[in-house]
């Protein structure tokens, strides 16, 4: 039975990092995949060559379209909220996405869920993974929108903390591959293994995920140092498939782990 999945994200490129393989798999299996993005990422990091003419937002919109095409998404919806930028402050700008009242941030998503008659929604875990304020707002506003629209299944995209630390320790044994990534960075980020309810095998969709990553060229750029996307794209194909061949979700109230994103819906049908 085909379902409609809405995947809600904070910025262009977030869709591929946590859910790219899952979206590609869902689309390939015949489900309708709708990608919804809160901001255009105009306050994001990028090399000066991408920012100099003030067209970073336009570039990131184009990159998002190319990424969505690589993943097989049927529709891309941009809400156009102002990007909060990276800050751990508990007092974001009032007009930024993370500074908006929850009901205001949730309203366009709730309307989209109703319009699409969505069966499932992906958001982020309560901490927004690594703590970005826009990511935390995706969680809060996403839950509110699902309640308003009556969307039956909400899944929190995350990373299995134990698994990712194990993989990074493996990469650390290969000098020069990902020199700026350390397993200790994930001691408290994302979700504990005991919380994970969905471990989605996306190894068959690694090429689609990699193509979607390449689409976000601005987010692989930097004037100094290296960005996460550029580091991941340096991985040899076999190691890329192994390192990024699983994606993880938490469904509150579920206790049995599944490799099927729609397991709860199928059980109830």
Catalogue all structural domains in the chain, each as residue range(s) with its CATH number.
Answer: 4-268 (3.40.50.10320)
Return the number of other C-beta atoms located less than 10 Å from residue 88's C-beta.
7
pLDDT tens, position by position, 49-83: 888 888 999 999 999 999 999 999 999 999 999 99
Average pLDDT (17-25) is 97
In this predicted structure, the answer to whether residue 134 has a pLDDT above a threshold of 70 is yes
Average pLDDT (38-44) is 93
Average pLDDT (94-116) is 95
**pLDDT value, residue 171:** 64
**pLDDT value, residue 263:** 96
- Across the beta sheet with 198-201, what order do the strands follow? 75-81, 32-39, 4-9, 120-124, 153-158, 246-250, 198-201
> DSSP state, 82?
P
Residue owning tokens 């590609």: 24
* pLDDT tier, 88 (very low <50, low <70, confident <90, very high otherwise): very low
Return the number of other C-beta atoms located less than 10 Å from residue 80's C-beta.
14
Is the distance from CB of 153 to CB of 121 less than 8 angstroms? yes
**pLDDT value, residue 39:** 97
**pLDDT value, residue 82:** 96
**pLDDT value, residue 68:** 98
**pLDDT value, residue 260:** 96
Instruction: Residue 244: name the closest of 6, 64, 94, 22 by CA.
Output: 22
How far is the CA of 148 from the CAs of 106, 110, 161, in angstroms?
9, 6, 31
* Strand (E) or helix (H) holding 105: helix 102-116
In this predicted structure, the answer to whether residue 246 has a pLDDT above a threshold of 90 is yes
Sign of torsion over alpha carbons 248, 253, 259, 261: negative
Q: Which segment of 79-83, 95-99, 196-200 scores lowest on mean pLDDT?
A: 95-99
More confident position, 124 or 1? 124
Give me the chain's average pLDDT, please. 90
In this predicted structure, the answer to whether residue 92 has a pLDDT above a threshold of 70 is no
* pLDDT tier, 228 (very low <50, low <70, confident <90, very high otherwise): confident
């Amino acid at each position: 039975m085909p379902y409609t999945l809405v995947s809600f994200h904070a910025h262009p490129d977030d869709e591929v990092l946590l859910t790219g393989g899952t979206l590609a798999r869902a689309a390939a299996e015949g489900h309708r995949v709708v990608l919804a993005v809160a901001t255009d990422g105009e306050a994001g990091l990028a090399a000066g060559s991408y920012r100099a003419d003030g067209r970073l937002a336009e570039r990131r919109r184009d990159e998002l379209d190319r990424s969505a095409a690589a993943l097989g998404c049927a529709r891309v919806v941009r809400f156009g909220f102002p990007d909060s930028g990276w800050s751990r402050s508990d007092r974001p700008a009032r007009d930024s996405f993370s500074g908006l009242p929850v009901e205001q941030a949730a309203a366009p998503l709730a309307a989209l869920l109703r319009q699409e008659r969505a069966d499932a929604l992906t958001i982020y875990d309560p901490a927004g993974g690594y703590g970005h304020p826009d990511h935390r707002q995706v969680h809060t506003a996403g839950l509110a929108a699902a309640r308003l629209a009556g969307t039956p299944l909400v899944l929190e995209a995350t990373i299995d903390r134990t698994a990712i630390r194990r993989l990074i320790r493996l990469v650390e044994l290969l000098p020069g591959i990902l020199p700026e990534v350390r397993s200790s960075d994930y001691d408290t980020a994302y979700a504990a293994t005991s919380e994970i309810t969905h471990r989605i095998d996306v190894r068959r969709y690694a090429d689609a995920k990699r193509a979607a990553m390449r689409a976000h060229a601005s987010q692989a750029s930097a004037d100094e140092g290296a960005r996460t996307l550029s580091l991941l794209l340096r991985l040899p194909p076999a190691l890329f498939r192994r390192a990024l061949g699983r994606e993880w979700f938490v469904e509150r109230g579920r206790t049995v782990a599944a490799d099927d994103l729609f397991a709860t819906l199928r059980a109830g049908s």
